[in-house]
Amino acid sequence: AQMRSVKQLVMHQYYNPADMSYDIALLELDHPVQCSPYIQLACVPDATLSVSELQNCWVAGWGSTAARAQKSSDHLQEAKVQLIDLKLCNSSHWYAGDIHTHNLCAGYPQGTIDPCQ
């Protein structure tokens, strides 16, 4: 593990905390991270990639590490998740329309791993 402080946070200009639309940000760290077998750079896809054609993706963040946890993790986490059709995600049995069209729905239908935990 390596500890870094955030030097600058650049949030998406259209981020809306009410519906979590455009929930993405860019962090500038106080000094570079040293790559190792355990710490690697994130891959950025080619701009021509069509996300709708993907089945799996990797997510990273400081979400909680347990269901209904009150506190987020202090450690950056990553997880492989399945992309889930937005219509299914917004169905009445799931999120009932709460997922914004500019966001992705990802995780596993049975639970256990998702971008929030």
The CATH architecture annotation of domain 1-41 reads: Beta Barrel (2.40)
For the stretch 95-104, pLDDT in tens is: 899 888 888 8
CATH number of this structure's domain 46-116, picked from the four choices 3.90.1150.10, 3.40.190.80, 2.30.110.10, 2.40.10.10: 2.40.10.10
All structural domains of the chain with their residue ranges: 1-41, 46-116
Closest CA to 77 of 65, 85, 86: 65
pLDDT digit string, tens, across residues 48-62: 988 777 888 888 888
Cα separation, 117 vs 106, in Å, equals: 11
Q: What is the pTM of this model?
A: 0.69
